[in-house]
Amino acid sequence: SNDFPKGFKYLPGYFSLEEQKELVETLRYLVKEAPLFTPVMPRTGKPFSVRMTNLGVLGWVSDRNGYRYQPQHPESGQPWPEIPEVLQSLWKQVGECEAAPEACLVNYYAATAKMGMHQDRDEKTFEAPVVSVSLGDTAVFRLGGVKRGGSTQSLKLSSGDVVVLGGEARLCHHGIDRILGGSSSLLKDGGRLNLTLRRVSVF
């Protein structure tokens, strides 16, 4: 169907093109400080096709030992850079959460990258929403239910779109089926950036 789960808010075109360009410039600087790394699956060590980094006091990592949040970059050992003001402000405006975000996971998708269906369950609280920002090439996003194996729907996420995953939607299965390579010229080398702002600790 075309109905979103309760707590799923889709805000297409939330950021103007000028705002997107400014955000990309900010991210270019921050990603120099905390370079993208290639996470690997727990136990198997199979690499993700998505590259990642984080901003904030905690960042999500995956390595042979498991998934977890940690305060430092896994390769440099340095603390993650702070979450920039524009994203703190976004969280205040759409996050419906008293507490500040602790983590901003930055996912970079080359045109061939994808992300399998999963739930986000590594946080200590599911009370706070996840707020997602898409930049660059359009993604074909798949949204399922809280239980795995149920019906799913597909939605295109374009540059400047914001999605808020609160309430029931917070624990819905989701993934990225494919990237529409060349659909945006925002990123000089193509591909897609997705930012997810999160609360990790109980507040």
3-state class of 22 per DSSP? helix
176 binds ligand MD3 (CB under 6 A): yes
**Shortest spacing between CB 97 and Fe ion, in angstroms:** 18
Pick from 86, 67, 91: nearest CA to 203: 91
Tell which positions 101-120 bind Fe ion, by CB under 5 A: 120
Token pair of 195 as six digits:
């930012």
Cβ–Cβ under 8 Å, residues 71 and 57:
yes
121 conformational bin, left if phi > 0, alpha if psi -120 to 50, beta if neither: alpha
107 binds ligand MD3 (CB under 6 A): yes
177 binds Fe ion (CB under 5 A): no
Q: Please, is 4 exposed, middle or buried when counting C-beta atoms within 10 Å of its C-beta (0-12, 13-18, 19+)?
A: middle
Report the residue from 51, 73, 142, 170 that binds ligand MD3 according to the rule CB under 6 A: 170
Tell which positions 118-137 bind Fe ion, by CB under 5 A: 120
54 binds ligand MD3 (CB under 6 A): no
Name the site residues for Fe ion (rule: CB under 5 A).
120
Name the site residues for ligand MD3 (rule: CB under 6 A).
105, 107, 115, 120, 130, 132, 139, 163, 165, 169-170, 172, 174, 176, 194, 196
